Amino acid sequence: MALDLGNVTAVQNVGEEEILGHLMWFSVGKQLVKRDDLLTTLTQSGLEESWMPNPIRSSDAFRRATKEIETKKSTATANVFENYLIREVFSDKDQIQRNIVVETVDQSGKRLDYDSQAGVITLNKKDDSLTFVTSNDMARELSEEAEKKFQVYKDYYSAQQLRVMVSKILQSLAPTPVRPNGGIVRLVLQ
């Protein structure tokens, strides 16, 4: 669809005319940001450290890493596939246990089977160590992937944590939302 520019007017404001505000559009892509880098960027931008997201807890990094390994795999048998699911079994002040549950879906036979202990992944909160015990190669591969992700996520904020931080900063400026859900707001600066 083409826009007829003959009906559009643009005005340059050089401080002589009053304006209603500024339109701001933002998005945060999928990325990882180290806490120290984010703090440096915030302070260089003139913002206070109080805007920083909470420090990253090893339990949050563990849950995030293990949730991301959930997957669906086909098998050698037609109409049979396996869902590798993560379920939290136990959590206290010392440890968290999450199991890899293999859900085998047989669409032809209209049946479900479960192996609730294909993998047991445990986080020791005292020393931030992750251990796992598996009963098959796929569960072992997924557990190793979770371990790698955990090592990264202990030090990096997620894109969602950054979105929440930016949203809080913008909300403190009392913006007028342009869209009901989204990153477009009008800021009235005084």
Structural domains in the chain (count): 2
pLDDT of residue 167: 87
pLDDT of residue 7: 57
Residue 12 in domain = no
- Mean pLDDT to the nearest integer, 61-69: 98
- For residues 67 and 49, membership in a common domain is answered with no
CA 68 from chain center: how many Å?
Answer: 10
Q: Minimal CA–CA distance to 146: which of 104, 82, 86, 103?
A: 86
- For residues 45 and 69, membership in a common domain is answered with no
Side-chain half-sphere of 25: how many Cα atoms within 13 Å? 1
The band of 1, judged by pLDDT with boundaries at 50, 70 and 90, is very low
What pTM did the predictor assign? 0.78
- For residues 166 and 79, membership in a common domain is answered with no
Task: Determine the straight-line distance between the first and last CA of the chain, rounded to whole angstroms.
Answer: 37
Residue 93 in domain = yes
pLDDT of residue 95: 98
The domain that holds 71 is classified in CATH as: 3.30.565
- For residues 127 and 76, membership in a common domain is answered with yes
Q: Which amino acid is at 100?
A: I
Residue 105 in domain = yes
pLDDT of residue 12: 59
Residue 178 in domain = yes
Higher pLDDT, 56 or 8: 56
Per-residue pLDDT of 135-190, as tens digits, reads: 999 999 999 999 999 999 999 999 999 999 998 998 888 877 776 666 666 566 55
Residue 109 burial by Cβ neighbours in a 10 Å radius (0-12, 13-18, 19+): exposed
The domain of 43 spans: 20-55+158-187
Phi, psi of 101 (to 5 degrees): -105, 125
pLDDT of residue 182: 61
